Every structure is written in structure tokens, then in C-alpha cells.
């Protein structure tokens, strides 16, 4: 776990422009966050990297971008209309509302995944769990609370015009299975991925951007032959875990947690979560990898009346493919990356520096050109203008060079380029490494290639 408090990390992210409070000038909106200048860049880089690794360069997968609003039958088929409900309890004294499983977990550190509402009530009573807000013990029974946001299409607000904001991107993939199979001409095994917004009316959002009501998911539905699903399940667990490790996340802060049989959905052959030791909890889910068998395609086939199966062109065998789903939230990855990257160091000269060791491939800014003196602005700006076409590059001439280094360390810029008076003569600059703070002289002509080589994933 990070040795820094969550408050310290969050405060750094807010003050340096990664995340702003949503609707701040109106007093905010509970648990809504806006991504600032650096946050928007980091988020985009995370999504671009996922797309590159999981879609563009992956031999099996293709990508789509489906609509947020879908025919309501989708949610009947997927079970979200009936079953996408958390157990919630209300405190009858102060009217606060809590998710029953979270209330129990926080109070007595017990997981109640897979337990019925009655069983959760029993645990609350047996352990005399009191309301965290008012300290009283006077609960309603656990009740279902549907997490889907409802809205209306057209001018009439009635049952017929009701639609839902999608609570996951996966269903947009399942309903397009035939379209993709036809237009991609992929053979099984193949995967369909997408990145997009999802919405859940979470009862207890919180821990900054860890649990929010509006978030982005990067989901892959990987279709394979029945019987080969467990092989691919393991393949995707390994692939996702390696992705996170390659991003430089410390291994001691990571674990893979296979779900116990009683936690598994009845149709699942296996589910594992990649978890991170966030500073606010022991372990928090970042990435879920689930073997969903043929459940989703079967359900959509049943509700739509359309056949969603696969005809093997080599064997003429027809079957409904099994599906393995690796699903991750962009905000969760973002938060994990930031918690892991944050460091406060005491330097030899007695100064303190905050440094974000964000993997260079996703760092919001890759390099910053710093003229040693304002007299060098013209030449340094010209260098910046050249580099900014190659990668995200900033220009900074304000304050001492030390201050500029500190500022860039704190936002995770991997390289600072100092243009000095010698540069005019020798056509070289000093390049400083964020992590090691080492500086070396390098030819301007070689600068772009030098940096590009080091910002690869
Ligand atoms: P949790 O148990 O934390 O609510 P979940 O098991 O419901 O998560 P899934 O439905 O499997 O999550 O969603 C896949 C991924 O989407 C999660 O691993 C997480 O990264 C992300 N995610 C889910 N809900 C939220 C949320 N409310 N805010 C941010 N990210 C979320």
C-alpha cells in the first residue's frame, strides 16, 4: 500500500489540475468529478493505450462504438432491469442510505457477496451494526435499489418512452455480435472491444473517483469455442495483469483474486479480479475478468428472436460461442496509476520534491522545454514548436530552472530539456530524467528520437 495518505494524493491531484470538483461554482454535485488539463490528457492516454494493446495490435480483436441509449429489451434480456440491484438499508433515525454489503464490510470486515437480503439483515442485527452517520441502531430491512438511470425518449414521459443510460458497455457488444461477425469476417476465437461511458446510480459512491455514477469502461467480449473458455479465461487474466505490471504498478500492491464458488454468477465458469492496495481500503477491484459462458448471447437470442450463433466455416459446426469478458474502469485505472506513482522525496540539498512516476507512455506531458534565460526564448520556442508535433510537449520559462524541474516532476513529465547559451554554439541541450534526476548533454538533432524511444510502452 502507498505510504502516503489518500487525502494527500487526492489533494495533489486536485491542486495540480488532474481532477476538479464537478459543477464546483454551484457548490458541486455529489460525487461528480471533472478531469482537468492533465487529467483529461492522462485519461485519453490510458484509453489510447488500451485501444492500441487490446484492439489495434491484438491479432484477435476488433473495436466498435455502440450507443449509450439502447432498446429497453436489451436490459430485460441482460437481467439489468430485474436484477441490477444492490441491497440497501435506510437508517430510520437520520434517513441516511447505505449499501448493505458495504455497511457490513466497513463495520466488521466481512464479505457478504452472494448472500441473500435476509442473510444480510441477519448479519446487521447479529453484529448490532449501527448507523455510521448518527450512531443509532434502527434499520429498515434490506431492499433492492435499481442502479440504472432512467430517462425518456421523445416528448412523452411514460412507460413506453422510458429508456435507460447503459450501466455497462458490454451489452452494446453482444447485440452487435452478428453485425461484427458478418462485417469483420473474423473466425472464432475473436474479441470485440469498446470504450465508453457507463452510468450507475450507486447508492454509496465515494473514495474520490473510485466509485462514481458516471464513468468510462474499457470492455472486451472475447468469443471462443465452448470448452476452450477456461484456456482463454487464463489468457486474459495474464494479459490484463501483464498490462498493469508493464505500466510499472508495483507488484506488491497488486493481486489476482479468484472469486469463491459461492460468489460466482450461476452461469459463470470463473471470475477473477485484479485488485490494487488502494490507500483507503485493503484491496479494491480494478479489473474484472469473467468467463460468462454462452449466457449473454443465449439471452439476447431468446429475447430478440434472432439467432446469435457461429457457423465454423472449416468444420460446418454451429454453436453459440462462449465469452470471456475482461472489463476495467478508466477512472479506477487512473486512480491506481496515480496512487502508485505519487512520491515525496527528500533531496540531498534539503529540498523536498513531489514526483509522479507515471509510465512515460501515458504521462500527460512527455517533455518540457525550458530556456535557461528569457534571452533564449526565441530559439527555445522554435525547438518547442518542432517537438510539439512529435509528442505532448510544453514550454516553460517562468521561475528558476529548479522550480521548473519541480513543477514538471510533480505532474509526471518524464523529461525536461534545458536550452542554454552553449546550445547556440554546440546545438546540444541538457536533458533531465524525472525519475533519476540525471542530466546529460544531447544533440538537438537526436532529441526527438531519444525521447520517442523512451516513451514507448
Ligand atoms: P464493484 O464491485 O466495485 O461495484 P462491479 O463488480 O460491479 O464493481 P463490474 O460490473 O464488473 O464492476 O464493472 C467492471 C469494471 O468497471 C470494474 O472492475 C471497475 O473498474 C469499473 N466500475 C464499475 N463500477 C464503477 C463505478 N461506479 N465507478 C467507477 N468504476 C466502476
- Residue 133 resides in a domain: yes
Q: Are residues 142 and 285 in the same domain?
A: no
Indicate whether 85 pLDDT > 90.
no
pLDDT tens-digit readout, 232-270:
999 999 999 999 999 999 999 999 999 998 889 889 999
Q: Are residues 404 and 449 in the same domain?
A: yes
Q: Helix (H, G, I), strand (E, B), or coil: what is residue 188? A: coil
Question: How far, in Å, from the CA of 216 to the mean position of ligand 1?
Answer: 10
Q: Are residues 309 and 260 in the same domain?
A: yes
Q: Are residues 179 and 325 in the same domain?
A: yes
Q: Looking at residue 441, which CATH number applies to its domain? A: 3.40.50.800
- Residue 354 resides in a domain: no
Residue 419, strand partner residues: 371
Q: Looking at residue 138, which CATH number applies to its domain? A: 3.30.40.230
Q: Are residues 101 and 34 in the same domain?
A: no
Indicate the top mutation candidate among 47, 166, 215 to test ligand 1's pocket, ranked by most ligand atoms within 8 A of CB.
215
- Residue 27 resides in a domain: yes
- Residue 194 resides in a domain: yes
Among candidate residues 305, 339, 373, the one where a domain is terminated: 339
Q: Which three cell numbers stand for residue 431?
A: 536533458
Inter-CA distances, 109 with 112, 127, 342, Å: 10, 11, 28
Q: Looking at residue 20, which CATH number applies to its domain? A: 3.30.930.10
Contacting residues for 118 by C-beta, under 8 A, at least 6 apart: 142
- Residue 350 resides in a domain: no
Average pLDDT over residues 363-383: 97
Strands (DSSP E) found in 251-377 = 254-258, 270-276, 284-293, 310-311, 318-319, 322-329, 342-346, 352-356, 367-371
Indicate the top mutation candidate among 217, 220, 326 to test ligand 1's pocket, ranked by most ligand atoms within 8 A of CB.
217
Question: How far, in Å, from the CA of 31 to the mean position of ligand 1?
Answer: 15
pLDDT tens-digit readout, 144-180:
888 899 999 988 888 889 999 999 999 999 999 999 9
What distance in Å separates the CA atoms of residue 78 and residue 137, rounded to the nearest whole number? 37
* Nearest atom in ligand 1 to 219's CA: 14
Q: Are residues 409 and 298 in the same domain?
A: no
Q: Are residues 175 and 283 in the same domain?
A: yes
Domain boundaries, position 319 = 6-74+161-339
Q: Could you tell me which of 246, 262, 264 has the C-alpha nearest to residue 254? A: 246
Q: What is the pLDDT of residue 146?
A: 85
Q: Prior bond to 189 cis, omega within 30?
A: yes
Q: Are residues 60 and 109 in the same domain?
A: no
Question: How far, in Å, from the CA of 453 to the mean position of ligand 1?
Answer: 34
Question: What band does 122 get if pLDDT is binned at 50, 70 and 90?
Answer: very high
Query: Tell me, what DSSP letter sits at residue 165?
Result: B
Among candidate residues 298, 322, 339, the one where a domain is terminated: 339
Q: Are residues 51 and 174 in the same domain?
A: yes
- Residue 347 resides in a domain: no
- Rounded to the nearest 5 degrees, what angle is found at the Cα of 46, between the Cα atoms of 164 and 173? 35
Indicate the top mutation candidate among 50, 171, 288 to test ligand 1's pocket, ranked by most ligand atoms within 8 A of CB.
288
Q: Are residues 62 and 201 in the same domain?
A: yes
Nearest CA to ligand 1 atom 20: 329
Half-sphere exposure of 31 (CA within 13 A, CB side): 18
Question: How far, in Å, from the CA of 329 to the mean position of ligand 1?
Answer: 6
Q: Which three cell numbers stand for residue 329?
A: 474502469
Nearest CA to ligand 1 atom 23: 329
What distance in Å separates the CA atoms of residue 4 and residue 436, rounded to the nearest whole number? 21
Question: How far, in Å, from the CA of 259 to the mean position of ligand 1?
Answer: 15
Nearest CA to ligand 1 atom 6: 288
Torsion of CA 381, 386, 392, 393, to 10 degrees: -30
Question: How far, in Å, from the CA of 210 to the mean position of ligand 1?
Answer: 9
What distance in Å separates the CA atoms of residue 2 and residue 5, rounded to the nearest whole number? 7
Count of domains forming the chain: 3
Inter-CA distances, 413 with 330, 408, 438, Å: 21, 5, 14
Indicate whether 69 pLDDT > 90.
yes
- Residue 351 resides in a domain: no
Indicate whether 47 pLDDT > 80.
yes
Q: Are residues 69 and 103 in the same domain?
A: no
Nearest CA to ligand 1 atom 28: 211
Nearest CA to ligand 1 atom 1: 285
Indicate whether 443 pLDDT > 80.
yes
pLDDT tens-digit readout, 418-438:
999 999 999 999 999 999 999
Nearest CA to ligand 1 atom 19: 329
Q: Which three cell numbers stand for residue 343?
A: 512520491
Nearest CA to ligand 1 atom 12: 288
* Nearest atom in ligand 1 to 332's CA: 20
Among candidate residues 122, 146, 170, the one where a domain is terminated: 146
Nearest CA to ligand 1 atom 4: 211
Which residues have any ligand 1 atom within 6 Å of their CB? 168, 200, 202, 211-212, 215, 217, 285-288, 327-329, 331-332
Neighbours of 74 (CB within 10 A): 22
Strands (DSSP E) found in 61-105 = 61-63, 85-90, 97-99
Q: Could you tell me which of 169, 177, 168 has the C-alpha nearest to residue 306? A: 177
Q: Are residues 272 and 166 in the same domain?
A: yes
- Residue 446 resides in a domain: yes
Amino acid at each position: 500500500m502507498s505510504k502516503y495518505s489518500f487525502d494527500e494524493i487526492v489533494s495533489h491531484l486536485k491542486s495540480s489540475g488532474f481532477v476538479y470538483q464537478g459543477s464546483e461554482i454551484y457548490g458541486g454535485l455529489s460525487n461528480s468529478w471533472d478531469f482537468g488539463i492533465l487529467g483529461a490528457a492522462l485519461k485519453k492516454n490510458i484509453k489510447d493505450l488500451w485501444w492500441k494493446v487490446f484492439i489495434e495490435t491484438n491479432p484477435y480483436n476488433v473495436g466498435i462504438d455502440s450507443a449509450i441509449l439502447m432498446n429497453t429489451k436489451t436490459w430485460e434480456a441482460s437481467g439489468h432491469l430485474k436484477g441490477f440491484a444492490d441491497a440497501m438499508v435506510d437508517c430510520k433515525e437520520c434517513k441516511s442510505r447505505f449499501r448493505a454489503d458495504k455497511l457490513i464490510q466497513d463495520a466488521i470486515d466481512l464479505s457478504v457477496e452472494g448472500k441473500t437480503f435476509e442473510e444480510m439483515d441477519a448479519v446487521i442485527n447479529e453484529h448490532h451494526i449501527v448507523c455510521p452517520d448518527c450512531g443509532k441502531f434502527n434499520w429498515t430491512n434490506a431492499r433492492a435499489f435499481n442502479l440504472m438511470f432512467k430517462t425518456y425518449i421523445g416528448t412523452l414521459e411514460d412507460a413506453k418512452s422510458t429508456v435507460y443510460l447503459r450501466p455497462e458497455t458490454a451489452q452494446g457488444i453482444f447485440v452487435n455480435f452478428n453485425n461484427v461477425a458478418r462485417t469483420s469476417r473474423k473466425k472464432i476465437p475473436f474479441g470485440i472491444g469498446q470504450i465508453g461511458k457507463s452510468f450507475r446510480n450507486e447508492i454509496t459512491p465515494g473514495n474520490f473517483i473510485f466509485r462514481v455514477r458516471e464513468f468510462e469502461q474499457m470492455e472486451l467480449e472475447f468469443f471462443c469455442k465452448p470448452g476452450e473458455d477456461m484456456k482463454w479465461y487464463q489468457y486474459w487474466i495474464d494479459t490484463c495483469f501483464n498490462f498493469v505490471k508493464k505500466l510499472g504498478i508495483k507488484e506488491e500492491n497488486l493481486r489476482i483474486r479468484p472469486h469463491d464458488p459461492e460468489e460466482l454468477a450461476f452461469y459463470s465458469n470463473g471470475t477473477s479480479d485484479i485488485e490494487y492496495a488502494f490507500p483507503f481500503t485493503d484491496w479494491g477491484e480494478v479489473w474484472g475478468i469473467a468467463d460468462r459462458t454462452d449466457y449473454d448471447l443465449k439471452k439476447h437470442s431468446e429475447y430478440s428472436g434472432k439467432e446469435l450463433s457461429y457457423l465454423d466455416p472449416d468444420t460446418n459446426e454451429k454453436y453459440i460461442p462462449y465469452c470471456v469478458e475482461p472489463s476495467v474502469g478508466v477512472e479506477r485505472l487512473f486512480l491506481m496509476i496515480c496512487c502508485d506513482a505519487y512520491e515525496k522525496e527528500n533531496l540531498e540539498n534539503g529540498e523536498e520534491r513531489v514526483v509522479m512516476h507515471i509510465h512515460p507512455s501515458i504521462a500527460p506531458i512527455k517533455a518540457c522545454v525550458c530556456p535557461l534565460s528569457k534571452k533564449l526564448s526565441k530559439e527555445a520556442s522554435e525547438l518547442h514548436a518542432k517537438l510539439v508535433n512529435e509528442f505532448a510537449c510544453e514550454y516553460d520559462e517562468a521561475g528558476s530552472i529548479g522550480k521548473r524541474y519541480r513543477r514538471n516532476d510533480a505532474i509526471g513529465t518524464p523529461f525536461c530539456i534545458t536550452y542554454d547559451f552553449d546550445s547556440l554554439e554546440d546545438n546540444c541541450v541538457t536533458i533531465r530524467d524525472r525519475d533519476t534526476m540525471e542530466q546529460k548533454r544531447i544533440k538537438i538533432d537526436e532529441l526527438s528520437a531519444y525521447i520517442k524511444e523512451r516513451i514507448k510502452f
